[in-house]
Structure 1
């Protein structure tokens, strides 16, 4: 039994969310009911029981480190609480740095399939492409500001946007600078995403083309189909966390699993493409994990907000 609970507490199963959970998995620190325990231990046996730290990469010059994006298996772009975006190798050597066009902090960064860096400038309302030392403004928003940013497998850009009055948030798909789709409400007319700009919103496209959004303000991972239909909301596993679940970074891997950072609990949640919890990464000395990316071998890179370090972690066998 989890030592943080007494016999008077009613703890629900982390998988089905309804049944009383008398079983506790000491590997994943997960509560399970008898019906779900078999499913839990059969879930993706390729996942390591204890993920291992491969490399610990220091960055410099950031009061807080927010984002990381893989240029290749050997190089990563980073951004934090200033206007400088930096490229490092895995030994922590600074290869290049650039200042945003507006000299404002980038809200998010992403890589296109061709290796072009793209960043969102919240205060300048713009989406910008970086080519060498040149920065080109691709999209300038009116009445909205960009939050999260993702370059899709088809070459489109997905942009989470917050309205100036902070009362609405929407997700927009662009081909170049042309808007193709806009998603804001579910089939019942409810808002898909929270609208408080004091919280972060990041996103990633999965292999099945679902769009996975880490909505920090809502305390949920919101997953919609490519057509904008709400598939599920993952709200964490409250029975196994000390602080409220507030996801920040999010990434998907080659096996369509979804990984999201949980800074308040110093952990990463791994769920499958249908929203079923698989396990945590809560070792490797993680401290306030924020931005996430994966390389071509499904190694995970984790940007730690306060330490300014990027940790490369192996989580598959």
Structure 2
């Protein structure tokens, strides 16, 4: 069970259950949880009244009253059920460069040449281009300590640890300079990907197939908690670290992002009306399994940590 000292700020929000009881929204402060079901049925309902709720959460965290429960006795679920998930692709410089080198055909250009060319392309993207954003399915979300189930058809499952921005105020066609005002909180997401299905071999002219590659049940471990944005002064200065069976595979700062959180939220909102509880995933840094030549197997344990947001821990198992 993840403990409080790794969290930024005096409290966070989550979704919990006790035994076979129903899930409820809770305020996490130290090693205890305050049941908030008297105020709302879900954390998403709290986010829908975020400007009103946030001051009350500050007061509740500082008070001794209320129905507090030991955190250790509760099951931790995904902290929110989003209506929409907007995912950013190819958003870390080093990751994109590594992928380009990995996909270079045998006997092709030297790795140094590929790295130099792609680095120059990344600079042009940051200055002149737009983010690449696609849609994920809420049905892929699972809890921060739940198993990741590898489907029988999945041959190359891979990890992608990411910072996720959680929308509070509705956002539609917001300017970049105003975008962070619509972010209520941040959390940890792992965007599991079936690498062999990213590109359609039968229809290469169509391009990527994100439906099958990323949206199987349990392919988006989320949480453990929602950490209010006010406790995360600079989302572009966080460490994203994933360990596989205790070995560090990803370890990068969000400074390596090509497009920051504000730019991603603003860009997505030009097309989509972002609603409370929606997630904007910001892309994954270098160090995926494809880079290491070591993909996920049944029995593997992933531990994903982002500065101040806690740690998720998921074991992989074969659905068979």
Q: TM-score, normalised by structure 2?
A: 0.28
Normalized per residue, the structure richer in helix is 2
Normalized per residue, the structure richer in strand is 1
Higher RCO (C-alpha under 8 Å, 6+ residues apart): 2
Q: TM-score, normalised by structure 1?
A: 0.28
